[in-house]
Structure 1
Amino acid sequence: AVVAAWVLPEIVAAFAAYAYFSRDGTLNQLLGGLGFGQPDWLYSFPMAAIMLANIWRGTAFSMLVYRAALDEVPGEVTEAALMDGATGWQRLAFITIPMIRPSIATNLMLITLQTLAVFTLIWVMTAGGPANASTTLPVLAYQEAFKFGDIGYGTAVASVLILIGLVFGAAYIRLLREAKP
């Protein structure tokens, strides 16, 4: 289920998330079966539903990056630490994490930039509503340019989004340079 969210086209994953969080969706069916209340998640908690759907959508990518990074940690190093009496937490904190730090920084940069650009998931689930509660910069740029016909304002919003992405990208590139062993 985790990898499927990443492999599926974004529009399909968005419709699956919509079906899960909608008023008559899977989540409310499960909650109703357990005797709990059944809120309209997309109306009452739109950003929480979108964030959970986005986490579900991006988890597989992060899992693959971290699995590959962990495979590159030499077994001899962790074995030597074990022989020196290092606990599991010490091996994690002082060997594994420092050795995979570049992968952590790269993954963090990629998921941050991807999250800044989420549009389809939000548009399918809530279209920025209710009352703009789930409107993000990509949704606002789309609405202004194509729904309200103000191409200039939509372009300005998209430009701000690009600048925010550049700031995050520059910060992460700096972090990556510092992360090199």
Structure 2
Amino acid sequence: MRWLPLAPTTVLLLLFLAGPIGYCVYIAFTDTQLTGQASASFVGWENFRKAFADDNFRNAVLLTLVFTLLSSIVGQNTLGLTLALLMRRATRPVRTLTGAIVIGAWVLPEIVAGFLLYSFFAREGSLNALLGGLGLPEQNWLYTLPILAVSMANVWRGTAFSMLVYSAALAEIPREVAESAEVDGAGGWRRLWYITLPMIRRSIGTNLMLNTLQTLSVFGLIWAMTQGGPGRKSETLPLFMYDEAFNKSLIGYGTAIALLLLLVGALFSVVYLRLLREDD
């Protein structure tokens, strides 16, 4: 009878998690369409073969990896750690102000943040006004470098999570360790590389995994800024999936792409978990 207290939770997981996932798996192997179809037919692996033969799908995969690398693995992770380290030495008013600004960007709804950053990167936006005031060349960032623009926007919005994770991890490091290294003549960079980073490596791995999974699913931010354009220069997998499933009404094909996106996230998770296990 020890399983009895877990029964309600198990039923809810099967009903609201395993059930929808199982139904999506079934839809991915059919030619289900949103409109103009009497009944769906089972097509086997045809949707997946179509995806791997589609140049637009391969472009979306590449842009998704670039977006994830720039905005999550490099951008949010590095900036979050930097802010956490700087805030340890900052005065209380500076910590309060910096935390309010960074966390304020994080708590904004994704679509609101997208419109704000569209007005910042647009041709007549705040960034070009600042560059023009400094005598630097202006450009239409959302047209010439759209994937870089949306990556920077995601860094701005999501860095707070990394900063909070690393602030908590750094607070657990005994001050005596850093003070002993300083007495022994270790400089700031050596203390960071040989003491701080090794002692928070589990937090780094956990933060990377959670940030990567969140970034892979970003939709509203990119949609509000570029809608995947111009052309398909910023169309990541979530936007490509939406276009195929709802604009072109190919629900079966779009669901197959969603499962492939789920597989990409699972692969990242396996890599991070193996790295954490090796650290143990």
TM range (shorter): over 0.9
1-structure distance, mates of 2:137, 2:110: 30
Structure 1 residue aligned with 2:162 = 62
Q: Which amino acid aligns with 1:22?
A: A
Higher mean C-alpha deviation, range 166-175 or range 71-80: 71-80
1-structure distance, mates of 2:113, 2:160: 13
Alignment of 1:36-47 (within 5 A): 36-47=136-147
CA shift, 1:3, in A, is 2.1
Q: Which amino acid aligns with 1:127?
A: Q
1-structure distance, mates of 2:102, 2:161: 9
Q: TM-score, normalised by structure 1?
A: 0.94
Higher mean C-alpha deviation, range 5-14 or range 80-89: 80-89
Q: Which amino acid aligns with 1:139?
A: L
SS at match of 1:55: helix
Alignment of 1:4-83 (within 5 A): 4-83=104-183
Gaps of 5+ in 1: none
2-structure distance, mates of 1:47, 1:96: 33
Q: Which amino acid aligns with 1:171?
A: V
2-structure distance, mates of 1:149, 1:50: 26
2-structure distance, mates of 1:35, 1:155: 49
2-structure distance, mates of 1:178, 1:11: 39
CA shift, 1:2, in A, is 2.5
- CA distance 1:148–1:95, shift in 2 (3 Å): same
**Out of 239, 260, 274, which is 1:160 matched to?**
260
- State, as a whole percentage, how many aligned pairs show the same letter: 61
Structure 2 residue aligned with 1:113 = 213
**Out of 199, 208, 224, which is 1:124 matched to?**
224
2-structure distance, mates of 1:31, 1:82: 42
SS at match of 2:200: helix
Q: TM-score, normalised by structure 2?
A: 0.62
SS at match of 2:208: helix
Alignment of 1:127-146 (within 5 A): 127-146=227-246
1:149 has 2:244 as partner: no
- Higher RCO (C-alpha under 8 Å, 6+ residues apart): 2
2-structure distance, mates of 1:101, 1:129: 37
SS at match of 2:273: helix
Q: How many residues are treated as equivalent by the alignment?
A: 180
Q: Which runs of 4+ in 1 moved over 6 A?
A: none
Higher mean C-alpha deviation, range 159-168 or range 169-178: 169-178
1:100 has 2:200 as partner: yes
2-structure distance, mates of 1:36, 1:74: 46
CA RMSD, Structure 1 to Structure 2 (Å): 1.3
Structure 1 residue aligned with 2:38 = none
Q: Which has the larger radius of gyration?
A: 2
